[in-house]
């Protein structure tokens, strides 16, 4: 047996090393500077510690802090450092779970101390002290029964014991990580040393029931963030403050867009101003779907259980569905539109000449999200999705996905977003055969490559019925949001026995493409609100112009200008109150109205208008017809 292994690098180069070499040593063989920058690696797509020995051939990938894998490892290690700091400062504390999250980390803590801002600062300082100790996290594989005994006797922690006693599959062995005097249950991987953590900030503390069960112990969840430099932390905190100012829930109330109420948790109340934005993006969507030759349908919201038994939703998605009983039988509020679209497809015989069939639906849906996970428009229970389902032949897949990608590009371009593409592959729980999944993933890859679109692989993130292309955009604060999704599905046509008559006279199975562009309208409007900080572009602004009179003598002229603008189709607010013009201007600025038309005796005498632009100020005098043309061009260009 050879004592050598072959390692394949991302550029395709293959090098031979001694068996048992660590990823860190491989990195050092490239350069010490490179080795110092990396945080974690993957061997054959499995994340491992940099210190772990490698004993078999494989492909290797290294990750720095600027990657999702690097951030996850960095923040998860910091969560362990925080738990260690708490254990040292507040003896007797017990710990639930402490994962890395999208931005930072948290740990659930059971302590007799009610943590305050002052406590968080103490914990921060202790984390930085632990960092300076240059502790090397060490992985320790143990039989599960030994790990249970450890957390019952050596470091008594009933939460870790419960996790170990109830983990899926009841693994024979589990991994612990030792970090100096601190030991925790963890799958890893971790940073090679605590010294990598240079800057940390604990952001908040909130209540959290153990395992999300309100009948269980209430723990304290401490949230934090960490970075390799203080400069990065300072910028993050600055962005966080700006994000608070842009919070769509705050702006939604201030601008009369929408609000939430306890009578219906997770469902927004749309106000008139919000409905204008909703209707504008809905209208834009419909025009584009007409251009790309979709047929719009509408399907029922309440559906009998057998439909979802057939689709697989009651098996794979039941906990997220609202169940009701009607006529002594179970029914559901639909969580998605796809099963219903198969009913539309099968409502009559189909021929190969009919395909592709593109069915779009602005469908109202309901998903039973955990109440504690609800978050304004970003996580709701009731929402509208710009769904579509395309039924096509195998030879039409490439063309149809290309058309979807073109529709995405045109849609996002109107909002100033640049899409980034991800290919999400087969999850651990899936329907159908691996061969069918492989074929579907290959089709999506070919579509992306044929359209010369760069993409990243998201391992195991596909839907249970098929792989998908996910599309992300970045907003004004450089935050990433997932919007569109394109899913290739061979499973539902099989489940619902969908067929078409081919040119050979035989029955064939169509392929089903699921896709959404905005995602949910609610989430998209929330993203737009924060992206623009409520300063919406003219074409979707709830109020596009305000007409402000300076004197009583100019009121009649202001009413005339207001009427002409309304007749041209603009959304206009008329303010002829007996208030100072400065006060009226400030009110329009606070309402974030794009343009203000200020009218006094001079404007009336010269039959023109003075125009101010929101956040810009005076932009000059115009003839009304000239300004109307300018506005129409701006709306048309969606500038």
Can you give the pLDDT at residue 170? 53
Nearest to 184 by CA among 42, 81, 302: 81
Residue 219: which residues within 8 A CB-CB, separation 6 or more?
96, 108, 109, 110, 207, 208, 209, 210
What is the pLDDT averaged over residues 441-457?
A: 87
Q: Of all helices (H) and strands (E), which one includes residue 560? A: helix 555-567
167 vs 403: which has the higher pLDDT: 403
pLDDT tens-place string over residues 263-301: 999 999 999 999 999 999 999 999 999 999 999 999 999
What is the pLDDT averaged over residues 11-37?
A: 92
Could you give phi then psi for residue 529, rounded to 5 degrees?
-60, -45
Asked if 124 and 96 touch (Cβ cutoff 8 Å), the reply is no
What is the pLDDT averaged over residues 161-174?
A: 78
Q: How distant, in Å, are the alpha carbons of 346, 351, 413, 491, 636 from that of 506?
A: 16, 10, 43, 20, 49
286 vs 102: which has the higher pLDDT: 286
Asked if 84 and 109 touch (Cβ cutoff 8 Å), the reply is no
Average pLDDT, the chain: 92
Q: How far is CA 425 from the centre of its chain?
A: 17
Can you give the pLDDT at residue 169? 53
Q: Order of strands across the sheet with 322-326? A: 302-304, 329-333, 322-326
560 vs 142: which has the higher pLDDT: 560
Helix axes 397-414, 272-291, angle to 10 degrees: 140
pLDDT tens-place string over residues 344-387: 999 999 999 999 999 999 989 999 887 777 889 998 999 999 99
Q: Dig out the tokens for 357 from the structure.
A: 């069939």
Residue 257 confidence (pLDDT) above 70? yes
What is the pLDDT averaged over residues 434-459?
A: 85
Q: Dig out the tokens for 434 from the structure.
A: 């691996």
pLDDT tens-place string over residues 66-91: 998 999 999 999 999 999 999 999 99
Give the span between the Cα atoms of 505 and 527, in whole angstroms.
49
pLDDT tens-place string over residues 380-435: 999 999 999 999 998 899 899 999 999 998 999 899 898 899 998 888 777 777 88
Residue 275: which residues within 8 A CB-CB, separation 6 or more?
none
Asked if 267 and 332 touch (Cβ cutoff 8 Å), the reply is no
Nearest to 516 by CA among 299, 260, 345, 338: 338
Asked if 536 and 587 touch (Cβ cutoff 8 Å), the reply is no
Question: b vs e for 455-478, b when ≥16 Cβ sit within 10 Å of the residue's Cβ?
Answer: beebeeebbbbbbbbbbbbebeee
Q: CA torsion angle for 363, 364, 370, 372 (degrees, to 10)?
A: 110
Please state, as a whole number, how many other Cβ atoms lie within 10 Å of the Cβ of residue 581: 16
DSSP 351: B
Residue 1 confidence (pLDDT) above 80? no
Q: Of all helices (H) and strands (E), which one includes residue 367? A: none
Q: DSSP secondary structure string, 309-347?
A: HHHTHHHHSGGGSEEEEETTEEEEE-S-SHHHHHHHHTT
Nearest to 40 by CA among 176, 177, 190: 190
Can you give the pLDDT at residue 299? 95
Is residue 228 very low, low, confident or very high in pLDDT (cuts 50, 70, 90)?
very high
Residue 171 confidence (pLDDT) above 70? no
Is-cis flag, bond preceding 632, omega within 30? no
Is residue 639 very low, low, confident or very high in pLDDT (cuts 50, 70, 90)?
low
**Residue recorded with tokens 């004993």:** 55
Q: Of all helices (H) and strands (E), which one includes residue 428? A: none
Residue 117 confidence (pLDDT) above 80? yes
Residue 316 confidence (pLDDT) above 90? no
Residue 168 confidence (pLDDT) above 60? no
Asked if 419 and 409 touch (Cβ cutoff 8 Å), the reply is yes
Can you give the pLDDT at residue 88? 95
Can you give the pLDDT at residue 172? 80
Q: Dig out the tokens for 415 from the structure.
A: 């909002």
């Amino acid at each position: 047996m050879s004592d050598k292994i072959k390692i394949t690098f991302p550029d395709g180069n293959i090098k031979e090393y001694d068996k048992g070499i660590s990823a860190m040593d491989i990195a050092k063989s490239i350069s010490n500077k490179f080795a110092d920058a990396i945080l974690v690696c993957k061997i054959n797509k499995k994340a491992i510690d940099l210190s772990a020995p490698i004993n078999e051939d494989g492909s290797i990938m290294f990750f720095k802090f600027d990657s999702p894998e690097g951030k996850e490892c960095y923040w998860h290690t910091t969560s362990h450092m925080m738990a260690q700091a708490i254990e040292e400062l507040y003896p007797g504390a017990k710990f639930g779970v402490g994962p890395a999250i999208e931005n930072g980390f948290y740990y659930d803590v059971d302590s007799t101390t009610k943590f305050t801002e002052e406590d968080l600062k103490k914990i921060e300082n202790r984390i930085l002290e632990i960092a300076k100790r240059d502790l090397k996290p060490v992985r320790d594989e143990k039989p599960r029964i030994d790990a249970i005994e450890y957390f019952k006797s050596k470091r008594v922690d009933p939460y870790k014991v419960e996790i170990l006693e109830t983990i899926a599959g009841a693994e024979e062995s589990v991994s612990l990580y030792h970090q100096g005097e601190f030991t925790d249950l963890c799958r890893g991987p971790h940073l090679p040393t605590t010294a990598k953590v240079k800057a940390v900030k604990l952001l908040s503390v909130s209540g959290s029931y153990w395992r999300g069960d309100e009948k269980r112990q209430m723990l304290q969840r401490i949230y934090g963030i960490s970075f390799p430099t203080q400069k990065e932390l300072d910028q993050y905190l600055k962005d966080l403050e700006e994000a608070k100012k842009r919070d769509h829930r705050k702006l939604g109330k201030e601008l009369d867009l929408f609000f939430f109420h306890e009578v219906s948790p997770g469902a927004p109340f749309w106000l008139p101003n919000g409905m204008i934005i909703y209707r504008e993006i809905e209208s834009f969507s419909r025009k584009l779907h007409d251009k790309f030759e979709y047929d719009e349908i509408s399907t029922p919201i309440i559906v009998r259980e057998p439909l979802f038994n057939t689709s697989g939703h009651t098996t794979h998605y039941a906990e997220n569905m609202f169940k009701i009983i009607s006529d002594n039988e179970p029914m559901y509020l639909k969580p998605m539109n796809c099963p219903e679209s198969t009913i539309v497809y099968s409502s009559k015989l189909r021929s190969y000449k009919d395909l592709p069939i593109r069915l779009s639906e602005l469908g109202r849906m309901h998903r039973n999200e955990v109440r504690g996970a609800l978050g304004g428009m970003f996580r709701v229970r009731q929402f509208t999705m710009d769904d579509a389902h395309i039924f096509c032949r195998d030879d039409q897949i490439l063309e149809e996905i290309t058309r979807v990608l073109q529709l995405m590009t045109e849609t996002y371009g109107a909002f100033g977003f640049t899409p980034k593409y991800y290919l999400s592959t087969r999850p651990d729980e899936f329907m159908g055969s691996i061969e069918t999944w492989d074929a579907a993933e290959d089709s999506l890859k070919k579509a992306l490559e044929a359209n010369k679109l760069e993409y990243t692989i998201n391992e195991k993130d596909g839907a249970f019925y098929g792989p998908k292309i996910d599309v992300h955009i970045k907003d004004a604060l450089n935050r990433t949001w997932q919007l569109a999704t394109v899913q290739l599905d061979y499973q539902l046509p099989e489940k619902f026995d969908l067929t078409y008559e081919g040119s050979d006279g035989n029955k064939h199975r169509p392929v089903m493409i699921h896709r959404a562009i905005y995602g949910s309208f609610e989430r998209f409007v929330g993203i737009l609100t924060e992206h623009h900080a409520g300063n919406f572009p003219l074409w979707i602004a709830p109020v596009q112009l305000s007409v402000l009179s300076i004197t009583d003598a100019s009121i009649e002229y202001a009413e005339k200008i207001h009427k002409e603008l309304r007749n041209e189709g603009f959304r206009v607010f008329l303010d002829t109150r007996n208030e100072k013009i400065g006060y009226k201007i400030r009110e329009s600025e606070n309402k974030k109205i794009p343009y203000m038309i200020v009218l006094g005796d001079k404007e009336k005498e010269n039959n023109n208008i003075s125009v101010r632009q929101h956040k810009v100020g005076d932009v000059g005098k115009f003839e009304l017809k000239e300004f109307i043309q300018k506005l129409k061009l701006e709306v048309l260009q969606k500038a």
